[in-house]
Amino acid sequence: MELKVLKKAGKLEAFSADKIKKGVMKAGGTAKLAGDVALSTAKWAKETAKEGVVSAVDMHSKVLELLYDKDKEIAGKFRGFVKKH
């Protein structure tokens, strides 16, 4: 089953670990940090998805949680970036 993300506007789109990686790297994270966070988020999403769907809001919260555990500065920048987009 393909994992889907429910966006705030109600649109469904395919889950993309690459989007998570790009967002973390835009916030200043290393490729390793971005890959680790994307992998952990993907695992979490598969475990918590209901009928193959996970909320974008919940996913962003999970990414922030993982980033705060690893690099608070990057987490703060990512949080600001997400609010703008």
9 in the Ramachandran plot: left (φ > 0), alpha (ψ -120 to 50) or beta? alpha
Q: Where are the beta strands (DSSP E) in 1-85?
A: 4-6, 12-14, 53-55
The mean pLDDT of 43-61, rounded to a whole number, is 96
Which tens digit of pLDDT belongs to each residue from 16-43? Answer: 999 999 999 999 999 999 999 999 999 9
Residue 21: which residues within 8 A CB-CB, separation 6 or more? 31, 34, 35, 37, 38
Label the pairing between strands 53-55 and 12-14. Answer: unpaired
pTM, 2 dp: 0.90
Q: What is the dihedral of CA 9, 56, 54, 1, to 10 degrees?
A: 90
CA distance 58 to 35: 19
